[in-house]
Amino acid sequence: MAGARKRAAIAIADVDELVSRARAKLDEDGVIKLTALGPKAARTAIVEQLCALGFEATKSVIRRPIAAQLADALAQGSFVPVKSIASFVRGGSAADAKTAAAKLIRDGVAVRVFRGSAELIVPRSAAVLSPDELLAARRLVQSLGKVLTKATRARGATLLVADVTEEIREALPVVVRAAPASAPVRVPAGLHTHEADALGRVLEAVDATRDEKMGLSFIPQVVNHLQPELGADTVRRVLLDAAGRGIVELRPEGGLNRLTADELELCLPGPQGTRLSWARRTEGRVQ
């Protein structure tokens, strides 16, 4: 009798404190074992309060909702491979995580994508192809495949880079659209119209060919991007001019003989025997 009264006393006096302690642990770790909640007598009350606060209870643990954990990971920019999805959540199995991921996809929070053979869940904000773009890409590959087969079978024949590029751009404008947001092309005053036009197009090409992570554009790619409308010499001259005006930073090649003869030809000669193979928009930097 005295024991029962004591248990009741513990439950009433400590539940609030135990709940707040459990919440702190849940905020930090995302999961807490039922056995770590507190005295057995108080557990039911604690679990009820935590569930009322939106936490999930299983047979052995209380956890932050799996969907919320995944949504957090996605919000931080993580691409979640389905194969290892369980490692992104605490207190849940892979099956739980997959169910939560399916819900997030249904709710439009996440998107399912393939990268090579791997299946991933990515945030809605990630640049992905729309259904129409997927179809267009498929059609492009088929039509381009035919031309490529024809060209490779005919000895000595090849394709114009410009034609291939143009076909890709027409079928998949997303390739251009996917280029990261860049500084607006502001052409310096005092240039002739044709010079301003060339500079504007080169800067657009620098943006379109930029490697998103490094923020650099490979100069041979910039040159190829603009051919045949602008010749290689013109592009290189415009790049040098842009570098002189502080609009573009030209950078020396740091690779270990990675440039092919063609790429070397398209790069600009740099100081002390180097080759300038990378370009970066520098507008906004103090000159």
Partner 1 sequence: MRSLSPEAIHADPWAEEFVDLPTLNSKASDAIEECVQKARTKAREAPRSLRSTSIVVLGPPGVGKTHLFSRLRGRLGPRAVFIHVRPLVSAPMTPRFVLGELVKQLAYTTHGLAQLDALVGSLLAHLSGAATTFPSTFLAEYQQLTAAERDARLDEAVEKAVAIWQEVDDTYLRRLLQAPFTSGATQRALLAWLSGRDCDVTQLSRIGAGASLAEELVVPALRTLCSVAALGAPIVLVMDQLENLIEGAEPGARLLGYANLAAELVDVMRGLVLVHMALDTEWTRGIEPALNMSQRSRLLMRTETLALPTPREREELLRLWIERLPERAGPYPWPFTDRRLARVLRTPGMTPRMLLVECRQALDAGGADEELEVAPEQASGREPGAASPALGLTGQWEGCLDAARQVQAEASEQRTSVDAVRVADGLLACGHFLTDAHISTSTMGEPVQLVIDAGKAKRQAAVLHHSHYKSLGAALGKLTSFAARAQVVAIRERARDLPPTWKDTLAKRSVLLGTGSAQWVWLEPDDVTRLLALDALLQGARSGDVTNERGEPVDVASVIEWARANLGVPEWGIVRALLGQSAEEHEVEATANVAPEPQAAAPAAVPLTTGVAVAILRQLRIASVERVVREAARIDPLATRATVLSELEAGPGIRFFGRSIVCVRVQQ
- Which one, 11 or 30, has the nearer CB to partner 1? 30
- Min CB(97)–partner 1 separation in Å: 16
Residue with Cβ nearer partner 1 (194 or 258): 258
State the residues that interact with partner 1 by CB under 8 A: 28-29, 78-79, 81, 84, 115, 118, 120, 211, 213-216, 236-237, 240, 243-244, 246, 249-259, 264, 268-278, 280, 282, 285-287
Q: How far is the CB of 19 from partner 1 (least distance, A)?
A: 19
Q: With respect to partner 1, which residue has the nearer C-beta, 11 or 71? A: 71
Of 7 and 251, the one with the shorter C-beta distance to partner 1 is 251
CB of 251 to partner 1, least distance (A): 6
Q: Cβ 228 to partner 1, closest distance in Å?
A: 22
Nearest-CA neighbor of 29 among 71, 76, 75, 61? 61
Question: 97 with 74: CB under 8 angstroms?
Answer: no
Our CB check for partner 1 shows the closer of 108 and 255 to be 255
CA separation for the pair 182, 197 (Å, rounded): 18
Integer Cα distance of 247 and 278 in angstroms? 14
Whole-Å CA distances, 133 to 10, 128, 138, 247, 281: 63, 9, 8, 34, 29
Provide the b/e sequence for 219-249 (b: ≥16 CB within 10 Å): bbbbbbbbbeebebebbbbbbebbbeeebbe
Query: How remote is the C-alpha of 67 from its chain's centroid?
Result: 21
Q: How far is the CB of 99 from partner 1 (least distance, A)?
A: 22
Indicate the helix (H) or strand (E) that contains 142. helix 131-153
